[in-house]
């Protein structure tokens, strides 16, 4: 079951997702995965002890059009493939998490009904959805260039936006009951902040997806335990001279953070984890950029699957803001053959969905980063943000947890 807040009628989908694992496998899960027949539940992805997560943020409709190449101005071209599918950062990330076995908790127009049915098919409990009987649903036109393997998104916002009064306190408390993590994509900041403050009071971990600077984002970040951000966000938010140095600045500015991750697309990801200084502050300070260069020098280019390289506990210098004791991780991405790469739409959401699973399952970063990269790569092999998301019954997922990581001294 999943809890979502969804405003729609022509429908604005703001979602409050509380996902619950499907107790019975759907027929579409019982199939061949990369030529491997599922034999027994022993090969399934393990279920975390506490798999309940809550998500709040955007859900909408994606109109996906694959074309041979991006059209020139005033041109007329034909699609090679077309699909209408649910989208939005939160909707995608929660769908991914539900398929991995977490327990996440929406009409009057056709797009709204279709989104509702799609979420229900993934095991979404719609008990906490807020439905607006007037307005328009957010939607995106997404053009997938089959030649350059890129996608262009044209977004139209929905109306009206959700406001805090749309969610009664009793419903909020019920939605958060027993949750391990609450996820926010930083949309609808006023409502998000009310939910985050209650999660904070209940000592529920908070993960923020920082795609770009937004109104109200800083208030959410101050409550965050984990931050996952796009490649451009760290420097835009901190004005640091590099991404790795920006991550140090983020940790220093947000003392509650346990880790911050910057996703780099096909170039992998960088993670900075805060650690306890057991050396009594006797650790030698180091420039984090130099450490990152050292880690990258250890990459095995012959390996197609995702790997993780990690530094020892180090005191990393900030740019004029002191230093932080932590470990730096560099995660490589899977090298997808060009013939298998279909669409990168929602790859970051898949990565986040896998991180939510990893947090609930208490995975180490050395296992978490390659696993999340594998899930994101699986998504890229199909059109749309959700079609390629793997189910926990895929035996290759459990193998992904056992890929070895490399450590530098």
Q: What is the mean pLDDT of residues 322-349?
A: 95
Sign of the alpha-carbon torsion through 126, 129, 134, 139: negative
Distance CA 205, CA 390 (A): 25
Two structure tokens written together for 72: 């020139």
CA dist 314 and 248 (Å) reads: 12
Q: What is the pLDDT of residue 112?
A: 60
Asked if residue 373 lies in contact with residue 224, where contact means CB atoms within 8 angstroms, the answer is: no
Q: Would you place residue 113 in the very low, low, confident or very high pLDDT band (cuts 50, 70, 90)?
A: low
CB 60, CB 138: distance < 8 Å = yes
pLDDT in tens, 29-65: 333 333 333 345 667 888 999 999 999 988 889 999 9
Mean pLDDT, range 401-408, rounded to an integer: 52
Distances (CA, A) of 146 to 81, 151, 346: 10, 9, 16
**216 CB-contact burial (10 Å; exposed 0-12 / middle 13-18 / buried 19+):** middle
pLDDT in tens, 178-217: 999 999 999 989 999 999 999 999 999 999 999 999 999 9
Q: pLDDT at position 138, please? A: 86
Going by pLDDT thresholds of 50, 70 and 90, the confidence category of residue 79 is: very high
Contacts of 153 (CB under 8 A, 6+ apart): 140, 141, 142, 345
| Residue with the larger pLDDT of the pair 367 and 27 | 367
pLDDT tens-place string over residues 249-304: 999 999 999 999 999 999 999 999 999 876 556 788 899 999 999 999 999 999 89
Q: How many residues does the chain have?
A: 409
Tell me how far apart the alpha carbons of residues 269 and 7 are, in angstroms, rounded to a whole number: 34
- Residue partners of 251: CB distance under 8 A and separation at least 6: 257, 260, 272, 274, 324, 326
């Amino acid at each position: 079951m999943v809890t979502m807040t969804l405003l729609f009628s022509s429908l604005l989908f703001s979602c409050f997702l509380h996902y619950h694992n499907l107790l019975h496998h759907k027929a579409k899960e019982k199939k061949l995965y990369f030529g491997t027949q599922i034999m027994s539940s022993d090969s399934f992805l393990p279920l975390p002890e506490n798999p309940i997560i809550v998500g709040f943020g955007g859900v909408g409709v994606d109109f996906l059009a694959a074309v041979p190449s991006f059209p020139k101005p005033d041109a007329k071209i034909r699609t090679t493939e077309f699909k209408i599918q649910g989208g939005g950062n939160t909707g995608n990330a929660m769908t991914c998490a539900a398929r991995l076995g977490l327990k996440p908790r929406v009409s009057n127009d056709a797009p709204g009904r279709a989104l509702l049915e799609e979420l229900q098919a993934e095991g979404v409990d719609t008990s906490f959805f807020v439905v607006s009987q007037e307005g328009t649903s957010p939607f995106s036109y997404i053009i997938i260039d089959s030649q350059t393997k890129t996608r262009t998104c044209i977004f139209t916002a929905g109306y009206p936006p959700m406001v805090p009064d749309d969610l009664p306190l009793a419903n909020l408390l019920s939605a958060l009951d027993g949750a391990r993590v609450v996820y926010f994509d930083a949309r609808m900041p006023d409502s998000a902040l009310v939910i985050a403050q209650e999660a904070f009071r209940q000592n529920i971990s908070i993960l923020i997806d920082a795609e770009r600077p937004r109104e109200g984002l800083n208030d959410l970040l101050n409550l965050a335990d984990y931050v996952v951000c796009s490649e451009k966000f760290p420097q835009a938010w901190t004005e640091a001279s590099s991404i790795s140095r920006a991550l140090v600045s983020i940790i220093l500015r947000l003392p509650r953070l346990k880790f911050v991750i910057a996703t780099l697309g096909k170039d992998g990801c960088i993670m900075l984890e805060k650690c306890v200084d057991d050396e009594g502050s006797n650790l030698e300070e180091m420039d984090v950029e130099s450490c990152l260069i050292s880690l990258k020098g250890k990459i095995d280019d012959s390996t197609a699957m995702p790997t993780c390289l990690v530094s020892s506990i180090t005191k990393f210098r900030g740019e004029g803001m002191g230093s932080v004791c932590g470990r730096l991780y560099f995660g490589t991405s899977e090298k997808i053959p060009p013939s298998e790469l279909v669409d990168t739409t929602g790859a970051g959401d898949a990565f986040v969905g896998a991180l939510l699973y990893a947090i609930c399952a208490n995975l180490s970063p050395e296992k978490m980063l390659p696993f999340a990269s594998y899930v994101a790569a699986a998504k890229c092999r199909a059109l749309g943000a959700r079609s390629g998301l793997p189910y926990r019954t895929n035996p290759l997922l459990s193998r992904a947890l056992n890929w070895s990581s490399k450590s530098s001294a």
